[in-house]
Amino acid sequence: MRDSSLKPSRDGFQWTEATGLVAGVPTLGLIQPSSHCNKGKIYDVLVIGGGYAGLTASRNLALADNQVLLLEARDRIGGRSWSSNIDGYPYEMGGTWVHWNQPFIWNELRRYDMTGQLEVSPRKNVEGGARVTVMMDGELLHISHDEEDEVIESAFKKFINVDGQFARSIIPYPHDIEFNMKGVLSCDKMSMADRMTQVASQLTPLEKNMFEGFLAITHGAKWDEASFFELLRWWALMNYNYADFMAIGLTYKLRCGQSALARHIFDEARGTGQVDYSFSTAVATVNDNGDLVEVTSRDGSTFRARRIVCTIPLNVLHTIKFVPTLPVLKTEASLIGHANQVVKCHAEVANPEMRSLGATNYPDGKLTYTFGDGTTPAGNTHLVAFGSSLPHVHLSPQTDVETTKKAFEAFHPGMRVKRLVFHNWHEDEFARGAWEWLRPGMTTKYLQALRERHGNVLFASSDSSYGWRGFIDGAIEDGGRVSRVVDQELKAAVHRHQFDVNSKL
């Protein structure tokens, strides 16, 4: 779909020499008209948040014959996983990669006949040949993709092997870490910095440089603020080996973009006739009086429902006023927040030969890692890059376009940047960070508390889900889990009411 047929969201930025920096990018996820609801109506369920958890809950509850109101602070669906569509080409602004080993998102792709939309990216050793560059001690090294994999895999195995079984005894059941909390406790207290100190002497200089660069954009945090257990959890979910880690977590994306999938879910929900919505509606307060819950937006509008499904991200939850107040552990966890403040940025470069580029620039690059992620309609190369949140290299692309361009150009000689596209997640008030990466000790102290309900308010989020926590799959799983609980409660309440009425007759 050409971007001329799409209107821009307020979110995201793009830059070209011709236009300069422009706020807002076109997306399939923009919802217009922005509101279709009855403010005086008492809904069965009010869902706060139009990301994948909220969309899944809204659709499932509507299909179960509940009247649903969806409130979203943004003007679009998708939350932290959405795509822009520029000149007929999608740029993934947040969550991107999917795999058939992620059962809940795979089910959605099957549901909407979208498995044929999968494409392999990055592709190695294809267009332009193999190009891998590594900036090390000020010297630009050139290696092959096979050599890159050998170096990273060797370092990964040393780093992850805390039990002599490559973490299999620590996390024997990746979707249910509660089955071995002893193993969780032994590693959750460790930071990534702690573990690196333990294994640094075992790594060659090249292994340490490349692997640290890889990890820096995986957790997107200061090393002493990122839990080592989170990496073990990812490793376990991806079958305890490096090849599957890369295949499952960083290989397959949707040719049509994530917003196309989100749109399918939203459109099916709306098609039931049971879902109303209000976008550009930021929630200020949630007041549970026992019988009904009243939600007030920042502009003073009020909405009422029997149940609330709250999908607000962990780092934002504490900004909402709840009456009664949230339990201490929920509030404390949100105030602390997860640690991931990674920067993600796309570039269209006039270098077709860089389609297979892979490059690291650690520890001094403003962008740490990049790779070829596609070919644009103009025949140029699409690169996606990530930057860490280390203080001395932290990047704010929209306030310093020239530095962002230079950060790309530092990856490889002769790179010519034609376009930049990005969403600055750590400066986004409705996200305050990228994908979830908990701090040391947070899993054991806070995770269960984050999942617990608060009266008539239930919580669903990829930040606290089972299984693929921090991924799109986790958001879909949790939205489905909570929607089942809510639907069962509402139907039980109707049944009790009917029984009481019949008893009185």
> Which residues participate in the annotated binding site?
72-73, 283, 386
> Which residues participate in the annotated binding site for substrate?
386
Round to whole Å and give the CA distance between 35 and 361. Answer: 45
Burial 311-341 (b: 16+ CB within 10 A, else e): bbbbbbbbebebeeebeeebeebbebbbbbb
Nearest by Cα to 182 from 201, 197, 163: 163
Q: Is the distance from CB of 495 to CB of 75 less than 8 angstroms? A: no
Q: Which helix (H) or strand (E) holds 442?
A: helix 442-451
Half-sphere exposure of residue 451: CA atoms within 13 angstroms, side-chain side:
18
Round to whole Å and give the CA distance between 410 and 301. Answer: 49
> Which residues participate in the annotated binding site for FAD?
72-73, 283
3-class secondary structure for 373-436? EEECCCCCEEEEEEECCCHHHCCCHHHCHHHHHHHHHCCCCCCCEEEEEECCHHHCCCCCCCCC
Round to whole Å and give the CA distance between 346 and 92. Answer: 8
Nearest by Cα to 243 from 235, 231, 232: 235
